[in-house]
Structure 1
């Protein structure tokens, strides 16, 4: 049976018990940590794509996406505090729902991280070309080298997104040789982002260009654009859900938190509420100054973000200054209202900060890949460690190559939608895992418990399904297609080579790099026939 292999939770927790981490973090530190983890890619990169889908209703879209994230965050907090080891939602699923479903989660996470890294690379490319090269150095990159053919279709130019390709390969090289981001440098970059966005809000709301008339019509495509269309406020929420990914970093700090029962939910919900309000205000500033109405196609439906049709419209002079046509939306807004210098500074803030996000995403993807390989579900070669640099170089190079190719040929909006499909599936499975473990192991110590779990967890499941169904059709279809490929690999390789299936539970300590073998005598230890 496919659902017969469940990794013993006691074996998984044996790794966590080897750790002796001090509980030093309070609610305020956790909230700041969450803000730093969340604010980044989405608000800098996806504002224009969101406006094309929802118009001024972009503000409502941020609220919808934030609400789904808050209920998901509570589920994430409980299970991360219970199982504070490597593997994220993949490990949680392995301990609650078994190897097969854990495989599907891990396979979706591989897709999520890799494609998200590609999306950030494309977003960085827009700021590199528009702010750094054009505005600062006065150099214009040919259109053929600044966007891929799948971004511009038949519009002028568009062969390869060279900056996106290069930044993805550079980050991959850094990860292979073991270079990681400095905590102090990261704190500085977070401060730069928050200060830049605060300045954006102050300048737009006090600008003579700001007018409430620009918010009408507020929902030009309605709240629901229709299943599979990806437009309307809910369709935009499904896309800009990408802007909130990263909050799970707070839940992973549960073991180092003082009074986690109180401080973990404060840190999670507090940081998400702050970011949601911040995002709404930033969106209001952008729309209120230069407008945010989408460019409509036949039948009054907005052209799809990142489509050939939209690219043709944006190439026309009458749309040159439109918010929805900018690759660096926030810097573009400030330039349009006469603050070119500050707009360039904001663009430089994004230019400096986004590579660290790419690094974290590729790193996270390789760790999921690495743990699955160490469990025997993928070839052991993928878990090879470089003899000099002591990094999983094989899987890092493989991941980096895929990220670079996707970044070179796809637009940011489509990449974010596909990444969100994997994220929403993983979040849904975490919520289900919380309910399963509450039933199966109710006496297990939980340093944080989801309040009203039988309401919150089902709401998380419904919320993630709701947003998934409002993604564009191609993004919805990509996940099951990718999942089918994963199932084929699992049945043809992973199930036969699984360590759990061979009777050995191998736990990897992501801090110490230790392994512990726990022989087990369960039906799962018997080989397949």
Structure 2
């Protein structure tokens, strides 16, 4: 039967004994990994996009996306504490709804992480060439070295985005040499950007320019822009959801975490709550000081974010009157507009330093999904080999890094946040399903963390993810089934016949007490 291959939880746990990853991460490092991905993408990249979709209702959009992420994080926390292994939503689906649906989840996560990492690499390239090279060194990188031939609507003269390639490969090398080393570098980057954003909040919320009147009208595009339109507060929330992928990446690190039953829930929920509050404070500061009303079209509907129509309208504004929604560096622009030009430039530098940590966490999550799918036989076994010295899946990390660098070098990234979200929302929905299934099939298994009111949290996760998916732009919604169809060809053409579970290769060690974790070397 196509839905009949369900992998026992004990088999999933014991699979780590043969090919285990080195446990080096604590709760604080996990929180920093989550913060490293969440803060950076949303604040530095999506603030202006969200404001163009929702206006001052951007604050509500952050709250909506954050609320859905909180219930999803609770589901993740319980399951990740039960199964402290790599693989995230893919592994949880394998243990509950079977191999076929688990494959679709893993395939969706590949889309999520790879597309997002490439998009952020190109975003970092923009800060590097625009802020660092231009403003501080007076160096102008030629277009043929700073933009791909398909990027930015086909930039004239673009050949390759070299900075995006370089940063992708540098992050890949860092991940290959060791997870602990990567976490230490990430901790420094997180400290820099949290400091910068704290200064932004303090300067804007206490500024004489701050005026509550700028929040009126609060929802110029309405609460709903209409299903498939991608505008309004909910449409903005569907886009901003891209920024919350950080907490999902935390769960992929469970197999490399010390005392995962305690530390994984702390890392998941702690990073999410911290980042959600920070998002709303920063958005309030930006909108309250210079305004955040969208640029409206002739029919009273906001021009699509990133569209040629919006670009033409933005070109009519003087530099010192440029709206928030027209800026490629929204926070630095806000500070310059209220008289803090020097600090605004430092904010641009902080973004330049922050985005590599986002790329790091995204590639990290991508490689761990590949690693576990390979360990299950659904992808070639060579992908799950661990380096004898560095204790990292070096082969799949290298392959992923090259693929991300290639996409960042040549492909368009304007709407990639919405595309990545399609895969993310599907995976998060399946985690909600997995929680409810485990409450029935493994109700006697010991839980280090138990979701309160699971009967409400599980369905809320499922409904919330479907709700946001239906508010993505129509083109983004179509990507998931197309990508999924490609995945099904691979599954039935290669993976299903080579599946270890399908061949009956399942090692289950009997536990003395239900719910105890196996004696995995390196655990506390």
TM-score above 0.5, yes or no: yes
* Alpha carbons of structure 1 residues 240 and 169: separation in structure 2 relative to 1, 3 Å: same
Q: Deviations over 1:462-515 (max 9, x none)?
A: 0011111111111111111101100111011111111111111379x9x9899x
Which residue number corresponds to residue 137 of structure 1? 137
CA distance in 2, matches of 1:66, 1:371: 28
Distance 1:476 1:276, change over 3 A: same
Distance 1:189 1:23 in 2: 19
The offset of 1:24, in angstroms, is: 11
TM-score, length-scaled by structure 2: 0.87
Q: Output one character per residue of 1:169-211: Cα deviation in whole Å (capped at 9) or x when no partner.
A: 3333444566874444332222211111011011122333332
- After TM superposition, the structure 1 stretch with the greater mean CA deviation from structure 2, 90-99 or 351-360, is 351-360
Q: Name 2:66's counterpart in structure 1.
A: 66
Aligned to 1:199: 199
Counterparts of 1:116-265 in structure 2, within 5 Å, are 116-142=116-142, 146-148=146-148, 151-153=151-153, 160-176=160-176, 181-248=181-248, 256=258, 260=262
Single out whichever of 427-436 and 4-13 deviates more from structure 2: 4-13
Other-structure match for 2:432 = 431
1:34 Cα shift? 5.1
- Looking at structure 1, the residues matched to 56 and 475 of structure 2 have their Cα atoms a distance apart, in angstroms, of 25
| Contact 1:41/1:123 (8 A) holds in 2 | no
Question: Does the 8 Å contact 2:133/2:139 carry over to 1?
Answer: yes
Conserved? CA contact 1:53–1:236, under 8 Å: yes
How large is the Cα RMSD of the aligned pairs? 3.5
Match of 1:302 in 2: 302
Equivalence for 1:330: 331
Aligned to 2:369: 368
Aligned partner of residue 227 in structure 1, secondary structure: coil
SS at match of 1:300: coil
Q: Distance in 2 between matches of 1:323 and 1:488?
A: 44
Give the 3 Å change call, closer, same or farther, for CA 266–503 of structure 1 in structure 2: closer
After superposition, the Cα gap between the structure-2 partners of 1:280 and 1:118, relative to the gap in structure 1 and judged at 3 Å, is same
Give the SS at the match of 2:506. strand
* Mean Cα deviation higher: 308-317 or 350-359: 308-317
Offset, 1:279: 0.9
How far residue 424 of structure 1 moved from its aligned partner, in angstroms, is 1.0
The Cα offsets for residues 59-106 of structure 1, whole Å up to 9 and x where unpaired, read as 111010000000001100110011101211111111111110110011
Equivalent residue of 2:299, what SS?
helix
Q: 1:318 to 1:327 in 2, by over 3 A?
A: same
Shift in CA distance, 62/2, structure 1 to aligned 2, threshold 3 Å = same
Deviation, structure 1 residue 379: 2.7
Query: Contact 2:36/2:357 (CA < 8 Å) preserved in 1?
Result: no
- Return the alpha-carbon distance in structure 2 between the equivalents of residues 467 and 78 of structure 1: 23
Indicate conservation of the 8 Å contact 1:55/1:219, yes or no.
yes
| TM-score calculated relative to the size of structure 1 | 0.86
Residues 369 and 268 from structure 1, CA distance in 2 versus in 1: closer, same or farther, beyond 3 angstroms?
closer
Report what 2:511 is aligned to: none
The alpha carbon displacement at 1:143 in A equals 5.4
Moved more, 101-110 or 411-420: 411-420
Residues 384 and 393 in structure 1, CA contact (< 8 A), matched pair in contact too: yes
Partner SS state of residue 209, structure 1 = coil
Give ranges in structure 1 of 5+ residues lacking alignment.
515-529
CA distance change for structure 1 residues 297 and 46 in 2, over 3 Å: closer, same or farther?
A: same
1:520 is matched with none
Larger deviation, residues 484-493 vs 150-159: 150-159
Deviation at 1:410, TM superposition (A): 5.2
| Contact 1:154 1:308 survives alignment (8 Å) | no
| Deviation of 1:226 (Å) | 1.0
Q: Which moved more, 1:401-410 or 1:482-491?
A: 401-410
In the aligned structure 2, how far is the partner of 1:390 from the partner of 1:110? Answer: 22
247-256 vs 422-431, greater mean Cα deviation:
247-256
